[in-house]
Structure 1
Amino acid sequence: MSDGKQLDYETEESTEQQRVPRDDGSDLPIKEGAVFGAIAVVATYLTHLLLTVMTTARISPEAGMVGSGEDASYVVTDMVASWKAAGWSYLSAFGSGFEAEGESAVLSAVPNHGAAFVNGPFGLSDLFLFLVTLGGIVAAGYGIARYTETDTATEAVKTSLTVVPAYLVFAAIAAVVMTHTFTDDPAITAFIGEATGHANAAVELEVSDIVTENGYNDIEFGPSTSSAILLAGLVVPAILAAIGGVLTQPRDALETVMAKVQ
């Protein structure tokens, strides 16, 4: 009889040892969640980068004559760096907004970039990137919950949320670092478009603030920081990661919901 109890004790002890150790003072696997989240973020961004590079290779930058008379010259502008445009593509998949000189702007109307989500290299590339981006969050939430062997749906959801900080950090970095300043006249002209009062890519940006007697003022364009952090860093990752966690305990989740309904 004692041998049976000893065997049960050793089995329980072995099971506890197999569980992933948690950080001291916390019931959540913070470090493990950060790793799962970082892997998902990097893999997603690299996918956007690959398709953005493909798109950029197919796009011709804006070009045109600058100056007048003997000082006139034909200028070919530079494309937005692919690593920046890939960040724009990534944030677009979350529904994040963009700004030009502090005013709301539309990414699809901005020249000289190959952000794959708005100008993909093949048909349905936007749908592909959308599924990869959002599916990666679900997979990360599912993966960390399975890895730590959560026992209930509630525990799985809490554990899955540990992947969110990685998305928050990347969204904040992308919003601050992945900006571009248009300085060449042909690119600025394309940015303004044919509008007479407001810029084509930013309807609230006054053309009179860009076009002056001395020429064109530079235009700084990039992600909206608040939008990027809220959507790409918090709300969407939290919801989808939680869904991933629930998928590891579907029966318990259903029973919990039914119990509350009754």
Structure 2
Amino acid sequence: MVEDSELEYEDEQHDDQRTQQPQTHQNTNNGLPFKQGAVIGAIAVIATYLSHLLVTVIATAQASPVGSGEDVTELVASWEAAGWSYLSVFGAGFEAEGERAVLADVPNQAAAFVSTPFLLSSSLLFVVAIGGAVGAGYAIARYTEAEDATEAVKASLTVVPPYLVFALIAAVVMTHTFTEDATVTAFFGDLGVNAAPGLEEGEYIDGDGVSDIEFGPATSSAVLYAGLLVPAVLAAIGGLITQWRDALETVMAKVDQQ
């Protein structure tokens, strides 16, 4: 009799656990997975930056600095140029002394996305950056087992904060000041075409020498595009991929209502 009662008690415990498991799983899905999303987003950001750094190192090894002989200059550090390359993929802008500047025309830098050290390198970096954000959104949506498109999008947006943090850090830290005569002169290029059309060459190059030019990402542009807008859209697309049927039905329902 004692054994029978123990068996019945164990069966009741198993039944209670089975009924509680779905409730526990639902409770974990009620809140947004901010910690998990931050981890996945950070992995995507680091992997994307490292890919730009690797290709930038290759491009830097192939690049030739301006100047010659004793006047030869040093190239921009690869870690800085890689940050510029990373931001440019997401559409961030750049500036020199507060004026809009074109990254591709800046001397002594080998940012991978504008230097193309080997065939299709720019396309490869573009795919890595876009795929990383989409993949991060997809991964966190699958992790949370989102039940519909709305939940999937909400979960996917939790991967965006690491992109915002990196964009802000890059905009503040990854700036470079051109101080050497050859680099400042090369900054304005030939035939009046310079890396920053808003700058007047005469204000920085005169008979007394040259003035320093500070170049770097435009903070507002980097934060808006590389930190918020583009990663959020791409992550949301990744989340919707997990619920493509529900997303399609929602879109078609909206169309039918028109």
**TM-score > 0.5 by shorter chain:** yes
| 1:219 and 2:226 aligned | no
Which residue matches 1:253?
247
Kindly indicate whether the alpha-carbon contact (under 8 Å) linking 2:177 and 2:212 is maintained by their aligned counterparts in 1.
yes
SS at match of 2:100: strand
Letter in 1 for 2:211: N
* Alpha-carbon distance between aligned partners in 2 of 1:122 and 1:135, rounded to the nearest angstrom: 20
Contact 1:20 1:148 in 2 (8 A): no
1:29 equivalenced with 2:33 (yes/no)? yes
Query: Shift of the alpha carbon at 1:126?
Result: 0.6
Q: How far apart are 1:104 and its partner, in Å?
A: 0.6
Q: Aligned equivalents of 2:178 and 2:85: distance in 1?
A: 18
Alpha-carbon distance in structure 2 between the residues aligned to 1:84 and 1:99: 15
Matched, 1:115 2:122: no
Amino acid at match of 1:231: Y
- 1:125 has 2:121 as partner: yes
Deviations 1:230-252 (A, max 9, x none): 11011101111000000111111
SS in 1 for 2:177: strand
- 2:99 corresponds to which of 103, 108, 113: 103
Pair 1:234 & 2:243 matched? no
Flag the 1:186–1:19 CA change in 2: closer, same or farther, 3 A: farther
CA distance, structure 2, for counterparts of residue 16 and residue 201 of structure 1: 60
Instruction: Give the drift of 1:256.
Output: 1.8
Count of matched residue pairs: 247
> Which structure 2 residues correspond to residues 78-227 of structure 1 after superposition, within 5 A?
78-196=74-192, 200-227=194-221
Give the counterpart of 2:43 among 39, 63, 70.
Answer: 39
Q: Is the 8 A contact 1:89 1:116 kept in 2?
A: yes
Unaligned runs of 5+ residues in structure 1 are: 66-73
Aligned-pair CA distance for 1:189: 1.3
Shift of 1:190: 1.1
Q: Could you tell me how far apart the structure 2 residues matched to 1:16 and 1:164 are?
A: 29
Give distance in 2, aligned partners of 1:204 and 1:56: 28
Bigger proportion of residues as helix:
2
Look up the equivalent residue of 1:249 and give its one-letter code: Q
> 2-side partners of 1:260 and 1:53: how far apart?
49
Aligned mates of 1:251, 1:14 — CA distance in 2: 27
Give 1:32 deviation, angstroms: 0.8
Give the SS at the match of 1:35.
Answer: helix
Q: What is the CA deviation profile of residues 78-126 of structure 1, one whole-angstrom value per residue up to 9, with x for unaligned ones?
A: 1100000000000111111111111111111111111000002211111
Q: What is the TM-score with the length of structure 1 in the denominator?
A: 0.88
Describe the SS at the equivalent of 1:162: helix
Question: Any idea what SS the aligned residue of 2:214 has?
Answer: strand
Structure 1 distance, partners of 2:51, 2:41, is 15
- Considering only aligned residues, what root-mean-square deviation do their CA atoms show, in Å? 2.2
One-letter identity of the residue aligned with 2:137: G
Residues 1:91 and 1:257: Cα distance change in structure 2 (over 3 Å): same
The one-letter code sitting in structure 2 at the alignment partner of 1:108 is A
- 1:54 equivalent among 44, 52, 58: 58
Identity %, equivalent residues: 62
| 2:4 equivalent in structure 1 | none
Aligned equivalents of 1:163, 1:86: Cα separation in 2: 22
Local SS of the residue matching 2:222:
helix
Give unmatched runs, 5+ long, in structure 2: 1-10
Q: Distance in 2 between matches of 1:20 and 1:164?
A: 23
Q: Deviations over 1:178-217 (max 9, x none)?
A: 0101111111111111245xx6111111111111332000
Q: Kindly indicate whether residue 9 of structure 2 is the aligned counterpart of residue 13 of structure 1.
A: no
Which one has a bigger Cα radius of gyration? 2
Q: TM-score, normalised by structure 2?
A: 0.89
